[in-house]
Amino acid sequence: MIKIRPKIELKPIEKFFLEKSMELLNKRTIDTNRLKLNNPLSTIKELMNVCNDLNKGKLKNHDYALSMAKESIKMLNNKHYIISSTIDIEYFIDLINKIKKDNYTKIVHAGNFLLRDNNGYLNNLFENVFDFINTRQSVSILDFEEMREFSRLIEYLFVELNNHGYSKFYLHRFMTAVFSGLDSINFEERFAIIKSLKDRKEEVFEVIFGLDTTKFDKTKIKIFSNDLKVLNKSDKKRISVVSQGGADIFLEEHKDHFLLSIKVKTKDYYQALNYSRKKLLHILDVLYLGYSDKNLSLISECFILGSHQPEKSSSFPTMYHLDGYYKSNHNLYKELLAKLSSLKSSEINIETINKINSGIRYLRMGGESGELINKFINYWIGLEYLFSTYDAEAYTVGRLREYFKRCHALIYIKRNMNEFHKDIYRLKENEIITNYNDNLEYLKLEKTYDDIILNSKSPLLKFRAHYYKELLNDSNKVRGALENHQKNLEWNLTRIYSIRNEIVHNAAIKEDIAVLTSHLRYYLTFIINGIIDFLINHPKDINNDDLINIDDYFLLQDLSLSSLEKKGVDFKDLIKINNPLELII
């Protein structure tokens, strides 16, 4: 959550819409509050794809369909905004609730009817969002349950915009421009500009990449491709003129490199980079066959020229943008180095040390890789290896899903409360709170949430304070939140594993996995730091095998959570739990 300074005075419901939208789209937002992968309609599409792939033999495990069906049912049991004029939605829920191998085809057919009935789903979501705002213009104190529904609706809207070809990166920039600029127009007119995205046609973008010629002689390379053009002097002059000089710095800095142009049709410039990069990587694959002794690597930036407003063209990093924020500085390095050094001097099983080192290695390899699939696979290898065992009867992926969700559930509330604490400071609302302190003790007091609900200028912060106040006063709701989080993690890990199998066993080329790759990076970073924290601060031989190893960490986290669940999960107890990632995130 960041402080937003719109050009106009917004009513509470309007400000809630803006704050929630910006939080969903900001890459630094923690994954709990960031834009999710699916809305109700897209879960149906994904389930249909899984069923089709299982029918064709591309996927083998029924668990993939079962997991996806559960996720879809969860969404469809809330208000979903899906029109069901041909297939009754209750019938569809009942059908997928009984999912089995011999009804995959029936699910696909029923899903096709629902998709056809909802060609206008994006417009339907826009209309519902506008009606929700319009009918609450005079409301000064927003109802918590209504805002819970509105929060989901806003998220469904942006997921659908994402599914219609708009990148989160672009939508964040677009929303910022709509509300931070454009003088003398009201909220309704600004919302109409956002709604116009649903009718925007694809634009032709020209993306200029470069091959690093410090590693080869560019006169020795010839490229033959209908999708790509090698830039000559006249092309560079044309680009300079069309961009009104905007490309001049890029062209001058990279004049000695091998510059290539690819044209694509997309909805926004960042998607243009994604689509053109896919084409370029395919061309480089073929090029490598003929020039296998050349190091054909891309330069770190590209230039994107749009056909509609070429004067606004700009350069962008060539690397993929992954969601999530991680600290990067000298002090962090020194602290982590000291932790790793202390492991070497302690009596810890050598296999455990080797596994941690391998996890860190694959985390680095994933971070340094320029291709999304390589990032995905490296992060997955590191994560899977940390959960592996020599026990022939143990199923590594099953262990991963079961233990990871337990480890993360234990720190889930603390992590979210730490982010809430930071949000209060970012919004400069800490002045209205008694005893605001980094020890988070003030978050154990009901008065804190009452003060925020009564005095905060942020409708979204008030909404979240109301939610956390509920958790503070009701252990059953805390239990429900943790159970829901564990289900979501298990479903997502199953989804990730199915994609991993497609890549490994079918040599599938997956390019739409940036969100899942960012999840994997976070999962691996979390579990490495959790294991290290355990070995340094809480080393215990839980399984009595006379060794301190990774299994002891998994067992301790599982037993700790089980103990809390047994006695009644208390919000105050969960705030006291140490989150090892606080050092890094």
> DSSP label at 214?
G
pLDDT band at 342 (very low <50, low <70, confident <90, very high): confident
> Is residue 164 domain-shared with residue 42, that is, in the same domain?
yes
Q: What share of the chain is helix, strand, coil (3-state, %, to 5)?
A: 65, 5, 30
200, 225, 247 - which closes a domain: 200
Sheet holding 229-230, edge to edge: 229-230, 258-266, 203-211, 301-306, 314-317
pLDDT at 423 (0 to 100):
95
Per residue in 164-177, pLDDT (tens digit) is 999 999 999 999 99
pLDDT in tens, 216-260: 676 777 777 778 888 999 999 999 999 999 999 999 999 888 899
- Domain presence at residue 487: no
Question: pLDDT tier at 322 (50, 70, 90 boundaries)?
Answer: confident
Write phi, then psi, for 211 (nearest 5 degrees).
-95, 135
Last residue of a domain, one of 317, 351, 385: 317
Beta strands in 117-214 (DSSP E): 203-211
Number of domains comprising the chain = 4
CA atoms of 204 and 197, how far apart (whole Å): 16
Residue 296 has pLDDT above 80, yes or no: no
The first and second tokens of residue 51, run together, are 């069923």
Region of residue 258 (phi > 0: left; psi between -120 and 50: alpha; otherwise: beta): beta
Distances (CA, A) of 60 to 68, 211, 498, 499, 512: 14, 40, 9, 12, 21
What pLDDT does residue 346 have? 65
DSSP designation for 225 = -
**Predicted pLDDT at 436:** 94
Mean pLDDT of 319-326: 83
Last residue of a domain, one of 200, 217, 235: 200
Query: In this structure, what token pair is assigned to residue 88?
Result: 């009754």
3-state secondary structure of 306: strand
Question: How would residue 279 be classed by pLDDT, with cut points 50, 70 and 90?
Answer: confident
Residues 162 and 301 in one domain: no
**Start-to-end C-alpha separation, the chain:** 15
**Residue 393 clears pLDDT 60, i.e. is over it:** no
HSE (CB half, 13 Å, CA atoms) of 523? 28
Q: Is residue 212 part of a domain?
A: yes
Q: Are residues 27 and 168 in the same domain?
A: yes
The DSSP symbol for 221 reads: -
Q: Let me know whether 349 and 384 are in one domain.
A: yes
Tell me the three state secondary structure of residue 426: helix
Name the H helices within 291-371.
Answer: 330-344, 350-368
Asked if 194 and 220 sit in the same domain, the reply is no
CB 518 within 8 A of CB 168: no
Residues 6+ apart with CB under 8 A from 547: 349, 541
**Same-domain check for residues 59 and 186:** yes
Domain ranges, residue 541: 330-406+512-572
Question: Do 179 and 238 have their domain in common?
Answer: no
